[in-house]
Amino acid sequence: MSPFVQLNRIESVLSIVLERPSKKNALNRDMYCALTEALLTAQQDPSIRVVVLSGAGGDFTAGNDLGDFLNFIESPETFPALTFVRTLALFPKPIVAAVTGAAIGVGTSMLFHCDLVFASSEAIFLMPFINLGLVPEAGVSLLAPLRLGMARATQALLLGEAFSAQQALEMGLVNAVTSLDGVKAMAIEASLRLAEKDPFALNATRRLMRGEPEKLLAQIDKEAELFVLALRTPSTQARLEAFLRGKESSRR
């Protein structure tokens, strides 16, 4: 397990906390592996009925750690993000998210797989794939039009525009907006209420609402294929390197 992914039990709820605040909880290889392992463990443990995702230090996650990700640029298919999003898409139990601060890239993408999402009022959501010369991930090219509507999905994915917690609430991505101090408590309270439901009925109802996963998994794999093709173009590599240089300069 990664030291940047902390697991805590609250009765029958598993709390998974991204704990790398110095990097705005950006996800590196080890964190993806730890998240996948945590979900698989929770899936197999009947005493765990609900999972809560959150980030430490004021941010949910700034997405991929590009410095780490670029180490895999010659073989991006070996980067464990795809395994994580497929595991997330297939997870059979409810997932609740508590979002604070930045939810960038996969930080927003993973929310489309959550059953309930609570956000603090200052949270910012952004899927900047197009701005980096990349395509969406985690099945978002399928899920965003269904969840947000085509017009808003176009703004988010083709224009690469950020949106606020209030806008996310109006879009239907977020269930409620509250204070920075209250969002985790709201997510835990909802999770405990879910955990009190009959587990067979809860998970079966969730499965019926979501439908069969084959189409979603096929979309995830197609996105991954196109993501790798885009990543290998000189223009995208230049954008990623420029973005990384900009981030490093801003820290000085």
Of the candidates 228, 245, 243, the one whose C-alpha atom is nearest the C-alpha of residue 131 is 243
* 33 is a domain residue: yes
Task: Determine the pLDDT at residue 247.
Answer: 61
Task: Determine the pLDDT at residue 232.
Answer: 86
* 102 is a domain residue: yes
* 90 is a domain residue: yes
Q: Are 127 and 109 in contact (CB under 8 A)?
A: yes
Q: Distance between CA atoms of 113 and 95, rounded to whole angstroms?
A: 8
Q: Distance between CA atoms of 219 and 82, rounded to whole angstroms?
A: 12
**In Å, how far are 116, 119, 187, 196 from 100, measured between CA atoms?**
14, 6, 12, 26
Task: Determine the pLDDT at residue 244.
Answer: 74
What is the residue range of 19's domain? 5-182
* 243 is a domain residue: no
* 189 is a domain residue: no
Task: Determine the pLDDT at residue 105.
Answer: 96
In total, how many domains does the chain have? 1
Task: Determine the pLDDT at residue 42.
Answer: 98
Task: Determine the pLDDT at residue 219.
Answer: 97
| 10-residue mean pLDDT series, the chain (252 residues) | 92 97 95 97 97 97 85 74 96 98 98 98 97 95 96 96 97 97 97 98 97 96 92 87 68 52
Residues in the chain: 252
Query: For residue 153, what is the domain's CATH number?
Result: 3.90.226.10
Task: Determine the pLDDT at residue 73.
Answer: 66
Contacts of residue 200, defined as CB under 8 A and 6 or more positions apart, other chains included, come to: none
* 36 is a domain residue: yes
Task: Determine the pLDDT at residue 251.
Answer: 53
* 72 is a domain residue: yes
* 96 is a domain residue: yes
Task: Determine the pLDDT at residue 44.
Answer: 97
